[in-house]
């Protein structure tokens, strides 16, 4: 039994229940788990750990690739099992605990977590818990729908728990390309030159003696929660595609563009869907998460190849893709997030990066993470890895939120994740501002004229003009710079009067 | 005459006066000039241009490597010759014009300017003006004390003016390593693996037909203005060296450390000088600017090799180094700033980056550029190229300025150049805060306890505690977050009461 999934016979003896495996996780341990954007997370052991922690309290530092599905962050938080969490999350319950200071959250560039572990600057996992479709004859681990940080967690951890998830089809095998940069000093270039280059192995290498437990489970990934395009996201997509068409017309890009990177979420997904109806062809992706839109572009013959570190699909798209993996396999690769997000590669390839802003200010500084300057939403994710190193770094958002109580374009952002140097283009449903080569005062003019919702335009214009009268490279009136956020906090709307 | 300096005979016919060459520069042109941190800038033609612009008005976009010496930015500003300036400057007169909005300043990561030109996202130079020690038999240009952006300016410009500066010794020839990354798509890895690797050519390749003028001049570089260590900078150096010693003791570094990068300025210079008395050896540098301290470390046998893109030395150190170039030549290389600052290389080598902050906040966000959140000081320079990609990203500053009216540690910085994700360690003369792996609330505790001047500690503690009571991942009281800056602006001191 399970010999097609666990091909090194000695490891069949390591099969145990999730409860037994979870008991290996002690209070105070650092645990590295698979999982990236609700794809490929270990499922049975974290659930058993949450149960165990309720009766036998233990708090861990949980490090993952990115967000987990199946409400695992919720359940672990409710069980009081999380002391620390990094580098990304999207769960409501955990988010609340983070913002209350009950769980310490370390928000990191997603390419950097395992680099810091490798150089012993942050603690390596005591235990790695990795979801797999199979274990090879050599005892190596074949990941599922994400690679995330799993390969480096396995390399750095003292012990490894493998979850064989029968809900994943064995046909995922061969999809992955596992490459870990060498330690420093002495590291060479990462030898990836084309989006479809394979530079590593198809499974995660590990000394089988390190595998302490094998757990069988049969729970699917949570489906994607991305919503279909609406009028605003469609307008954003239209502005962006018109911009790309102008770039082609100006000879700065060809009709296959450059490798596309799109952050997760409904806006970026709408932008990618917009490419379906465009004249571009021979497109490629070099991104983190492959969403429904990636497969729609492949199916439509618009996209030749997509490289990611996870696949997060809707139920319907998942059926189509996972049920026909052989059709997609030569057009796909999943890499460790350190490689999918590596600055070296993003710059070498010259990606076109499309990421979602929570808000941006009139000078093009972007807040991706903190509501009202203080409360964590999800984390910076890979946006910083990509934005700084992109050929063209694009941020998208709807111009207003909460029925107009919030303008996504503000005098000064309450928190900066991407400074103006890293932001080339900003887009809302109102329009697009091309900021390349502009000084801050010119950037402000372009943003106010093109991106701001009409309800807020006069107020921003007024702020900017009075700020310019005071002077400075980046004119501000410090007494008013954060007033819109204060209004929102105190009166429920950015333009409310006292 | 000049045949040792101009070895392609046909170019001897292009010799003309600086005034004649400057007349090639028309109103509205974009001009790319050599020069990085007051080293190796073209000197005669910009001066002639300033004179010309006074009688025959013309405004240009001036793009350089970084800052210019010999008061050239001052003279060009006074002549009204600058419409736009990028990517860095340090001149008082120009700074004033920038902050008044009279000159538009585009502040860029120094590795990115020519990347954006190459991809036609910003305008390429109409004319490049490049200082040289010589022109080779092939007509190629041998730079002087900096490489900066010169190689790419020459490649992208329609016409080239070469200034042969007799004040530079011919023995500089052979010091440079010129490498320009290929266009995208299709670029391969930059094949630099060790600090002392040479990957390019010793002169800047150019079609001699593009050389429109050769101007002879005899003006030395301006000497460095770096001041010797004082009690505070010495204390900063001591804290930092003790930290590095602890890293070695913990097995995270060896006694040759990793390649060092140090921003220009007195604090970073003091830190580097501090290494003289340390037990480290076999040190290397992979940095932008090589300052006096680099040569003191080489002379003391502490440093084996230094790679930079310019040499900015005091008069005394300059005599020693330039008078004995043969002694240093096998320990030095000057590269284009795109290569000295390339994220790919900084991360591959795993540099230890030491850069100067204007101020940082309790969460470790760093402002490198804007006084009071609005007024440009110099520019971000290479600090962002290095900080994000460093093995260890360190920012240093004195804890107070202006006799105590300013605390360099504030509740919220008025401008963010480096977000908390990119800042591992902060140091003042008060002490060092190691922020690696910490959540924001822990970062605040470490910074307040270790780095703040005693005069400001109670006030920051009070702010932080009241902010925590409000909650959030990054607790702030928005009404007070910028109050210290407002106090300074309105009352001359950060803690003044209304």
- Give me the number of domains chain A comprises: 2
Residue A19, CA atoms < 13 Å, CB-side half-sphere: 5
Q: How near does any CA of chain B get to the CA of A24, in Å?
A: 24
Domain boundary (B193, B217, B241) is at B217
Q: Is the pLDDT of residue A406 over 80?
A: yes
- Taking the C-alpha atoms of residue A437 and residue B61, their distance in angstroms, rounded to an integer, is 11
The more confident residue out of A457 and A266 is A457
Q: Which residues in chain B are contacts of A121 at CB distance < 8 A? A: 252, 391-392, 424, 436-437
Asked if residue A196 and residue A287 are part of one domain, the reply reads: no
Are residues A436 and B479, on separate chains, in Cβ contact within 8 Å?
no
CATH of the domain at B209: 3.40.1080.10
Q: Which residues in chain A are contacts of B258 at CB distance < 8 A? A: 184-185
Beta bridge partners of B213: B161
Q: Is A487 an 8 Å CB contact of chain B? A: no
- Taking the C-alpha atoms of residue B20 and residue B45, their distance in angstroms, rounded to an integer, is 9
- Which 3-state string (H, E, C) describes chain B? CCCCCECCHHHHCCECCHHHHHCCCCCCCEEEECCECCECCCCHHHHHHHHHHHHCCCCEEEECCCCCCCCHHHHHHHCCCEEEEECCCCCHHHHHHHHCCCCEECCCCCCCHHHHHHCCCCCCCCEEEEEECEECCCCCEECCCECCCHHHHHHHCCEEEEEEECCCCHHHCCCECECCCCCCCCCCCCCCCCCCCCCCECCECCCHHHEEEEEEECCCCCCCCCCCCCHHHHHHHHHHHHHHHHHHHCCCCCCCCCCEEECCCHHHHHHHHHHHHCCCCCEEEECCEECHHHHHHHHCCCEEEEEECEECCCHHHHHHHHCCHHHHHHHEEECCHHHHCCHHHHHHHCCEEEEECCEEECCCCEECCEECCCEECCCCCCHHHHHHHCCEEEEECCCEEHHHCEECEECCCCCCCECHHHCCEEEECCEEEECCCCCHHHHHHHHHHHCCCHHHHHHHHHHHHHHHHHCCCCCCCHHHHCHHHHHHHHHCCCCCCC
Tell me whether residue A51 is exposed, middle or buried, using C-beta atoms within 10 angstroms of its C-beta: 0 to 12, 13 to 18, 19 or more: middle
The residue in chain A having the minimum alpha-carbon distance to the alpha carbon of residue B182 is A348
Binding site of A, by residue number, is 378, 382, 402
Q: Is B314 an 8 Å CB contact of chain A? A: no
Other CB atoms within 10 Å distance of the CB of residue A396: 28
The yes-or-no answer on residue A288 being catalytic is yes
Q: Is the peptide bond before A87 cis (omega within 30 degrees of 0)?
A: yes
Chain A residues 275-304 within an 8 A CB cutoff of chain B? none
Q: Look up residue A44 and give its DSSP letter.
A: H
* ipTM tops the 0.90 cut: yes
pLDDT band at A498 (very low <50, low <70, confident <90, very high): low
- Taking the C-alpha atoms of residue A294 and residue A302, their distance in angstroms, rounded to an integer, is 10
Give the ranges where A176-291 is alpha helix by DSSP (H): 231-249, 266-274
Asked if residue B159 and residue B13 are part of one domain, the reply reads: yes
* Structure tokens given for B405: 């009216």
* Structure tokens given for B210: 């593009």
* Structural domain contains residue A226: no
**Given the residues B156, B163, B173, B288, the one annotated as active site:** B288
Domain boundary (B217, B241, B275) is at B217
Other CB atoms within 10 Å distance of the CB of residue A433: 28
Asked if residue B297 and residue B258 are part of one domain, the reply reads: yes
Asked if residue A142 and residue A237 are part of one domain, the reply reads: no
Backbone angles phi, psi at A15, to 5 degrees: -65, 130
pLDDT digits (tens, 9 = 90+) for A422-448: 999 999 999 999 999 999 999 999 999
Beta bridge partners of B217: B165
Are residues A416 and B414, on separate chains, in Cβ contact within 8 Å?
no
Work out how many CB contacts closer than 8 A connect A with B: 236
Angle at B416 between CA B414 and CA B417, to 5 degrees: 140
| Nearest Cα to Cα of residue A289 among A263, A258, A319, A266 | A263
Question: Helix, strand, coil shares of chain A as percentages rounded to 5?
Answer: 35, 20, 45
Asked if residue A107 and residue A207 are part of one domain, the reply reads: yes
Are residues A121 and B392, on separate chains, in Cβ contact within 8 Å?
yes
Asked if residue A299 and residue A186 are part of one domain, the reply reads: no
Chain B residues 437-466 within an 8 A CB cutoff of chain A? 437-439, 441-442
Query: B377 near B370, Cβ under 8 Å?
Result: yes
pLDDT at A346: 98
Angle at B146 between CA B275 and CA B62, to 5 degrees: 125
Q: Is A424 an 8 Å CB contact of chain B? A: yes
Nearest Cβ partner of B478 from A84, A478, A482?
A482
Asked if residue A430 and residue A285 are part of one domain, the reply reads: yes
Residue-wise over A343-362: b if at least 16 C-beta within 10 A, else e? bbbbbbbbbbbbbbbbbbbb
Nearest Cβ partner of B486 from A370, A391, A478?
A478
Q: Which residues in chain B are contacts of A348 at CB distance < 8 A? A: 184, 187-189, 344
Query: What is the average pLDDT score of chain A?
Result: 97
Residues 6+ apart with CB under 8 A from B162: B11, B130, B131, B132, B135, B141, B211, B213, B214, B215
The residue in chain B having the minimum alpha-carbon distance to the alpha carbon of residue A123 is B437
* Structure tokens given for A318: 């998942």
pLDDT digits (tens, 9 = 90+) for A32-66: 999 999 999 999 999 999 999 999 999 999 999 99
Average pLDDT on A96-105 reads 98
Chain A residues 384-403 within an 8 A CB cutoff of chain B? 384, 388-389, 391-392
Q: Is the pLDDT of residue A139 over 80?
A: yes
Asked if residue B338 and residue B434 are part of one domain, the reply reads: yes
Chain A residues 199-218 within an 8 A CB cutoff of chain B? none
pLDDT at B268: 84
- Taking the C-alpha atoms of residue A15 and residue A216, their distance in angstroms, rounded to an integer, is 7
Residues 6+ apart with CB under 8 A from B498: B491
Asked if residue B135 and residue B76 are part of one domain, the reply reads: yes
- Taking the C-alpha atoms of residue B225 and residue B38, their distance in angstroms, rounded to an integer, is 10
Low-confidence ranges of chain B (pLDDT < 50): none
- Taking the C-alpha atoms of residue B146 and residue A165, their distance in angstroms, rounded to an integer, is 58
Residues 6+ apart with CB under 8 A from B458: none
Q: Look up residue A48 and give its DSSP letter.
A: H
Q: Which residues in chain B are contacts of A116 at CB distance < 8 A? A: 436-437
Backbone angles phi, psi at A177, to 5 degrees: -135, 100
* Structure tokens given for B216: 């002879």
* Structural domain contains residue A265: yes
Binding site of B, by residue number, is 378, 382, 402
Which helix or strand (DSSP H or E) is residue A441 part of?
A: helix A440-450
| Nearest Cα to Cα of residue B275 among B248, B242, B306 | B242
Q: What is the dihedral of CA B252, B254, B257, B259, to 10 degrees?
A: -90
* Structural domain contains residue A225: no
* Structural domain contains residue B2: no
* Structural domain contains residue B3: no
* Structural domain contains residue B482: yes
| Nearest Cα to Cα of residue A312 among A69, A140, A46 | A69
Asked if residue B213 and residue B245 are part of one domain, the reply reads: no
Asked if residue A247 and residue A210 are part of one domain, the reply reads: no
- Taking the C-alpha atoms of residue A266 and residue A274, their distance in angstroms, rounded to an integer, is 12
Q: Is A492 an 8 Å CB contact of chain B? A: no
Query: A411 near A484, Cβ under 8 Å?
Result: yes
- Taking the C-alpha atoms of residue B296 and residue B35, their distance in angstroms, rounded to an integer, is 24
pLDDT at A265: 83
SS3 A402: helix
Are residues A350 and B187, on separate chains, in Cβ contact within 8 Å?
yes
Q: Is B329 an 8 Å CB contact of chain A? A: no
Q: How near does any CA of chain A get to the CA of B431, in Å?
A: 20
- Taking the C-alpha atoms of residue A265 and residue A246, their distance in angstroms, rounded to an integer, is 25
Q: Is the pLDDT of residue A497 over 80?
A: no
Other CB atoms within 10 Å distance of the CB of residue A174: 16
Q: How near does any CA of chain A get to the CA of B468, in Å?
A: 8
* Structural domain contains residue B487: yes
Beta strands in A240-320 (DSSP E): 260-262, 283-286, 289-290, 303-308, 310-311
- Taking the C-alpha atoms of residue A213 and residue A12, their distance in angstroms, rounded to an integer, is 9
* Structural domain contains residue A481: yes
Phi-psi region of A459 (alpha: psi -120 to 50; beta: other; left: phi over 0): alpha
| Nearest Cα to Cα of residue A412 among A497, A355, A486, A470 | A486
- Taking the C-alpha atoms of residue B87 and residue A79, their distance in angstroms, rounded to an integer, is 52
Share of chain A above pLDDT 70, in %: 100
pLDDT band at A1 (very low <50, low <70, confident <90, very high): confident
Q: Which residues in chain B are contacts of A374 at CB distance < 8 A? A: 467, 470-476, 478
Domain boundary (B159, B183, B217) is at B217
Asked if residue B402 and residue B339 are part of one domain, the reply reads: yes
Q: Which residues in chain B are contacts of A391 at CB distance < 8 A? A: 119, 184
Q: Is A118 an 8 Å CB contact of chain B? A: no
- What sign results for the dihedral spanned by CA atoms B450, B455, B460, B461? positive
Q: Which domain holds residue B269?
A: 231-491
Backbone angles phi, psi at B355, to 5 degrees: -130, 155
The alpha carbons of chain A give a radius of gyration, in whole angstroms, of 23
């Amino acid at each position: 039994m399970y010999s097609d999934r666990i091909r090194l016979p000695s490891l069949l003896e390591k099969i145990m229940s999730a409860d037994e495996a979870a008991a290996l996780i002690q209070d105070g341990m650092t645990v590295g788990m698979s999982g990236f954007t609700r794809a490929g997370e270990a499922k049975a052991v974290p659930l058993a750990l949450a149960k165990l922690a309720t009766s036998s309290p233990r708090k861990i530092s949980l490090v993952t690739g990115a967000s987990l599905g199946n409400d695992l962050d919720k359940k672990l938080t409710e069980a009081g099992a999380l002391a620390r969490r990094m580098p990304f999350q999207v769960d409501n319950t955990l988010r609340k605990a983070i913002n209350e200071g009950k769980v310490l959250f370390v928000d990191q560039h997603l390419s950097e977590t395992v680099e810091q572990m490798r150089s012993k600057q942050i603690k390596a996992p005591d235990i790695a818990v990795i979801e797999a479709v199979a274990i090879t004859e050599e005892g190596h681990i074949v990941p599922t729908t994400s690679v995330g940080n799993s390969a480096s967690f396995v390399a750095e951890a003292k012990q490894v728990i493998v979850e064989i998830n029968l809900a994943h089809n064995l046909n995922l095998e061969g999809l992955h390309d596992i490459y870990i940069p060498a330690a420093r000093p002495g590291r060479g270039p990462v030898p990836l030159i084309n989006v479809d280059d394979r530079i590593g192995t198809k499974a995660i290498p590990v000394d089988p003696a390190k595998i302490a437990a094998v757990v069988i489970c049969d729970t699917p990934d949570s489906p994607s929660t991305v919503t279909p395009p609406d009028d605003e996201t469609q307008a954003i997509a239209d502005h962006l595609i018109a911009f790309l068409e102008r770039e082609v017309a100006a000879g700065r890009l060809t009709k296959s563009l450059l490798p596309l990177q799109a952050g997760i979420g409904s806006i970026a997904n709408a932008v990618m869907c917009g490419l379906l109806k465009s004249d571009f062809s021979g497109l490629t992706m070099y991104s983190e998460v492959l969403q429904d839109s990636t497969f729609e572009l492949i199916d439509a013959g618009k996209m030749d190849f997509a490289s990611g570190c996870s696949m997060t699909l809707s139920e319907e798209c998942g059926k189509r893709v996972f049920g026909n993996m052989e059709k997609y396999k030569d057009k796909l690769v999943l890499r460790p997030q350190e490689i999918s997000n590596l600055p070296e590669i993003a710059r070498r390839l010259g990606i076109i990066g499309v990421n979602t802003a929570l808000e941006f200010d009139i000078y093009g500084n972007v807040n991706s993470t903190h509501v009202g300057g203080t409360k964590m939403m999800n984390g910076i994710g890979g946006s910083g890895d990509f934005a700084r190193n992109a050929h063209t770094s694009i941020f998208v958002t709807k111009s207003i939120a909460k029925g107009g109580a919030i303008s996504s374009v503000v005098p000064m952002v309450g928190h900066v994740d991407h400074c103006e140097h890293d932001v080339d283009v900003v887009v809302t449903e109102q329009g697009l501002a091309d900021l390349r080569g502009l000084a801050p005062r010119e950037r402000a003019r372009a943003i106010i004229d093109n991106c701001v919702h009409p309800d807020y335009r006069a107020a921003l214009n007024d702020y900017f003009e009075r700020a310019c009268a005071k002077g400075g490279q980046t004119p501000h009136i410090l007494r008013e710079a954060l007033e819109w956020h204060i209004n929102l906090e105190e009166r429920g709307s950015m333009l409310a009067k006292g």
